[in-house]
Structure 1
Amino acid sequence: MSVRLPRARRARLSLFTAGTASLALLVTACGGSGGSSAAPEDFSYLSVTENTTVKTALTTMSKGACRTANEALPLKVETVPQASLDQKLQLLAGQDALPVQFAAGNAPALTQQLAESGKVADLEKELKKLGVLDQLEPAAVSTIKALYGGELQVLPYEYNIEGIFYNKKLFQENGLKAPGTWKELVAAAAKLESKGVQPFSASGQQGWPLTRLISGYLYRSLGPDALQKVADGKAKLTDPEYVKAAEEVAALGGKGYFGKGVGSIDYDTAMNQFLNGEAAMFYMGSWALANISDDKQNKVGAENVGFMPFPAVSGGKGSVDQYPSNVGLGITLSAKSFDEKTGDWVSCIAKNYGSTALKDHGSISGFKVNTEVKDANEVTTQVRDTISSSKQNVLWFEALFGTKATTVSQTNAASLVSGSMKPEQFMQTVQDALAAQ
């Protein structure tokens, strides 16, 4: 979930905890096949106030690479607060007045409802017709389809992978290499702790940086379909092999590897702990590259930051090249207004957005970068290369959860690692919330 101001990024990440309330109203409002086609008068784009990157990049492109498309169909941007987005989309859908392009709903289910009622363009078909489907990174397509029921229903204006950022200087000083297995990771944490170095920085207040460690272990031990099986009712979080993941993460907390008072640590504090050299490792998404590249924030130096995948679990079915990923707040297009002029805009975006976002904003998207852009540092290059070579990605712990289970999971994560909630109890509590959805 732009160059990251922490609060704005958190707002984007919050989309993954948003609910799918009022979908019944949407189904009622969106009856029919999307109405007859009507040539749009402009390239209207409904964005969220919190995300300035996409609208700024599109404005830049409208005056440069996409000037011709813009002259035929002028870019027109409207914004609403992210908290009001779903309600706005439902209202517009009910009036058969969705804009040409719009920020998708706060949860995939909303966009899927719009698609089922014929309101959303078949992007895979349209991109193929335009000859630009290959301008999307395969890993981004894989992530979108995992979120949207196997369909390419949004465009990846933002694309993030997750892994462990680590302080190369601290590792070198303590004779450590980037661990390749969970056992090696635990051993490295033990050595760092024994030398007076806090192994991990994490926000217990946010909760999700801790629960992502659980899903990371599950994907490595049980394979990339571990949480899909839970969503499909073929497995439960209370099954022994699932509880094992919670036990392993709880053990890290039990040994003090997250430092003191992890439950009161907020996102910015956790980020600062790592960038100030107070902690050796930090599980986070690639959006953190903006912070890492900022000399004012990063006191350890970008040259001293490395990136590694979540480690392998011995005997596990998963692979270290399966990175947890997300596409931020997806953006889609209306079926009703997808005509030749809209296609010209979409084609231009597919070919040029990746370069523009990276060059002007330091933002990694799911579009290919077709012009040479000098990265700010080595770790940014490493992450970009990882994204380009990645073929199959996975989701995060709560990706397939509803609102209640997501809240239960994230609010109890700190209790899990602090020892006030046993692993079995944590997984049972989340499973109960899933069953109540």
Structure 2
Amino acid sequence: MKRNAMVILTLILALSTLLAACGSKKNNDTSSPSASTSPSASASASAPASEPASPSKEVEPFTVSLRHIQIGEPQKFRKAILDEVVKKTEAEVPGLKFELDGVEDAVNRFTKLPAEMAAGNQPKIFDLFGGNADALKYAKAGRLLDLTPILDELQLKDKFLNVFGQFTLDGKIYGLPIGGNMEGVFYNTEIFQQNGLNPPTTWDDLIKAADTLKGKGITPFAQASQAGWVPNMLVDTLLGRHVAAGFPNGLTDGTLKWNSPEIVAAYTLYQDFVKKGYFTKGELGKTYDDMLNEFGAGKAAMMFDGSWRSSAFKADGVAKAINGKVAFIALPAIPNAAGEQTSINANYGNGYGFSSDLNENELAAVKAFIKNLYNDEMQLRGLTEDGVLPSMKLSDEAMGKVTDPLVKQVLDTMKAAGSSFVHFDSVVQKAVNAETENQLQKLIANKATPQEVGDAIQKVQDTENAKK
């Protein structure tokens, strides 16, 4: 009886095993009609749980060099924006690591980048000025990446303002302006009020203020001329106000001369300011940061500078001591000057360029960098946090978020301008620009007359123009 039971049990187990084997084969045989036509069978066959996990593809790390000029305390807001873009881009592009190289503005523009471009070993991403002397020169040499198809791919081109003039060659775009700026007069409203002075919105009020303040031992204008480009900002506006037409492009085509009467008159006016003691004593030994520090400490009542400086006067800015005590205006109309007196120096000449020598990974990094930097959020942050005028179209809603009264004054001043002109250093050749700085420093040191300054610059201009 026991033996019969064991036999029966053994038969049952064998039958169960056979049935299970048949069922398993049927469910796994995808060539059978039922497996190929049954939706449930197909879903079961393609379900991730029924397939072995495939090993993840290892990402090869790579680096992309990024040259920027956001160094020092005054540039901290702009640097913070760049750091955020870098971090976001690295997170999006597998294996990417940026190598940041912070270089002082003039060193990058006039020393490092030109040498790198000549050798063909420029960074992959770099700070770039527009115009014939920089972006267009490098584009002609084949060193810059044509951004036109990338802007089309990212659907960004139509989102920019009309800002590509200094970066366009033969219809192709070779650089992206990060923002715009204008140059004008910052003045300390508290000092003006304490001394019973009107805001310097007319030439008479400006000269009266300068004479009154100098008589009281207060420097009228903070100035720093160790680097020639700093005093050249004011000179550039004086030139634009004195020349009736053709400035600055006429300088390179020969229709306008540096030693013409109107340009010599502009240098003469600057020399008058020097002789009257309107500028910082010992300005030739002062740096750009020294100029801001003097104005920020209340030792000077006015400062001619770019609108980008507005961020320095924020509550957490480098010149926070005068937060809420600074106003901004365009240089007042100059009596008897031949140029348009509501015209301002304003342009979108500074931004980023990209090397034409990129591999597939580097190109992906560049596209992500552009996408993350050139958008509404970053443009608005650049305006509100750093005083950089947007190069892209921002909605009324976005512009309504601008609450800083100083930034609003900059925007209103630019809107009220009758016309604008670009700084001559974006048009003339580098040798000419260098000579303007050299000659201006001689003028300040009383080692050259305005006419001698104009003659010397024109001599270099003629030489450079002849090279065409």
TM-score normalised by length of structure 2:
0.67
Shift in alpha-carbon separation, 1:382–1:204, aligned structure 2, 3 A: same
Give the Cα separation in 2 of the matches to 1:60 and 1:373.
24
Amino acid in structure 2 at the alignment position of 1:116: K
Offset at 1:246? 0.6
Amino acid in structure 2 at the alignment position of 1:355: L
User: More displaced, 116-125 or 409-418?
Assistant: 116-125
Q: Which residue of 2 aligns with 1:275?
A: 296
Aligned length: 387
Give the Cα separation in 1 of the matches to 2:253 and 2:83.
42
Amino acid in structure 2 at the alignment position of 1:48: R
Give the Cα separation in 2 of the matches to 1:173 and 1:234.
48
Q: Which residue of 2 aligns with 1:286?
A: 307
1:48 to 67, 70, 74: 67
Amino acid in structure 2 at the alignment position of 1:231: T
Q: Which residue of 1 aligns with 2:248?
A: 227
Secondary structure at 1:156 match in 2:
strand
Q: Which residue of 2 aligns with 1:9?
A: none
**For 1:153-202, what per-residue CA distance to the aligned partner results, in whole angstroms no more than 9, with x for missing partners?**
21122543221111111222333333344454333322333444321111
Give the Cα separation in 2 of the matches to 1:203 and 1:304.
22
Offset at 1:435? 2.8
Q: Which residue of 2 aligns with 1:60?
A: 84
Percentage of matched positions with identical amino acids: 24
List aligned pairs for 1:79-118, cutoff 5 A. 79-80=100-101, 82=108, 83-92=111-120, 99=124, 101-104=125-128, 109=133, 111-116=135-140
Secondary structure at 2:178 match in 1:
coil
Offset at 1:210? 2.3
Q: Which residue of 2 aligns with 1:171?
A: 192
Q: Which residue of 2 aligns with 1:31?
A: none
Corresponding position: 1:331 with 2:324: no
Amino acid in structure 2 at the alignment position of 1:135: K
2:391 to 366, 389, 394: 366
2:421 to 389, 394, 399: 394
Offset at 1:413? 2.2
Amino acid in structure 1 at the alignment position of 2:297: N
1:210 to 215, 226, 231: 231
Give the Cα separation in 1 of the matches to 2:355 and 2:400.
28
2:379 to 354, 371, 381: 354
TM-score normalised by length of structure 1:
0.72
Offset at 1:398? 3.5
Shift in alpha-carbon separation, 1:317–1:335, aligned structure 2, 3 A: farther
Amino acid in structure 2 at the alignment position of 1:431: Q
Q: Are 2:63 and 2:97, in contact at CA under 8 Å, matched by a contact in 1? A: yes
Q: Which residue of 2 aligns with 1:185?
A: 206
**For 1:22-60, what per-residue CA distance to the aligned partner results, in whole angstroms no more than 9, with x for missing partners?**
xxxxxxxxxxxxxxxxxxx99975322644687864553
Q: Are 2:187 and 2:303, in contact at CA under 8 Å, matched by a contact in 1? A: yes
Shift in alpha-carbon separation, 1:380–1:189, aligned structure 2, 3 A: same
Give the Cα separation in 2 of the matches to 1:382 and 1:63.
33
Offset at 1:418? 4.8
Offset at 1:149? 9.1
Shift in alpha-carbon separation, 1:299–1:60, aligned structure 2, 3 A: closer
Offset at 1:114? 4.3
User: More displaced, 166-175 or 411-420?
Assistant: 411-420
Shift in alpha-carbon separation, 1:183–1:153, aligned structure 2, 3 A: farther
Q: Which residue of 2 aligns with 1:6?
A: none
Give the Cα separation in 2 of the matches to 1:160 and 1:137.
14
**For 1:63-121, what per-residue CA distance to the aligned partner results, in whole angstroms no more than 9, with x for missing partners?**
66x79xx646765423456454444445557xxx984x444489854532443355544
Q: Which residue of 1 aligns with 2:443?
A: 416
Q: Which residue of 1 aligns with 2:23?
A: none
Offset at 1:277? 1.1
**For 1:117-167, what per-residue CA distance to the aligned partner results, in whole angstroms no more than 9, with x for missing partners?**
5554444565356442343344x445656xx79974211225432211111
User: More displaced, 235-244 or 297-306?
Assistant: 297-306
Amino acid in structure 2 at the alignment position of 1:434: Q
Q: Are 1:43 and 1:74, in contact at CA under 8 Å, matched by a contact in 2? A: yes
Offset at 1:206? 2.0
Q: Which residue of 2 aligns with 1:252?
A: 273
Give the Cα separation in 1 of the matches to 2:418 and 2:143.
30
User: More displaced, 210-219 or 311-320?
Assistant: 311-320
Secondary structure at 2:186 match in 1:
strand
Q: Are 2:183 and 2:233, in contact at CA under 8 Å, matched by a contact in 1? A: no
Offset at 1:278? 1.2
Q: Which residue of 2 aligns with 1:380?
A: 407
Secondary structure at 2:248 match in 1:
helix
User: More displaced, 118-127 or 311-320?
Assistant: 118-127
Amino acid in structure 2 at the alignment position of 1:323: N
Q: Are 1:47 and 1:77, in contact at CA under 8 Å, matched by a contact in 2? A: yes
Give the Cα separation in 1 of the matches to 2:229 and 2:132.
18
Q: Which residue of 2 aligns with 1:127?
A: 151
**For 1:332-380, what per-residue CA distance to the aligned partner results, in whole angstroms no more than 9, with x for missing partners?**
4649779899656644533243135457767655345565796684213
Q: Are 1:144 and 1:153, in contact at CA under 8 Å, matched by a contact in 2? A: yes
Q: Going by fraction, where is strand more abundant, 1 or 2?
A: 2
Secondary structure at 1:47 match in 2:
strand
Amino acid in structure 1 at the alignment position of 2:235: I
Q: Which residue of 2 aligns with 1:309?
A: 330
Shift in alpha-carbon separation, 1:183–1:235, aligned structure 2, 3 A: farther
Give the Cα separation in 1 of the matches to 2:219 and 2:393.
38
Structure 1 residue runs without a partner (length 5+): 1-40
Amino acid in structure 2 at the alignment position of 1:136: F
Give the Cα separation in 1 of the matches to 2:381 and 2:257.
44
Give the Cα separation in 2 of the matches to 1:361 and 1:191.
33
1:404 to 415, 431, 440: 431
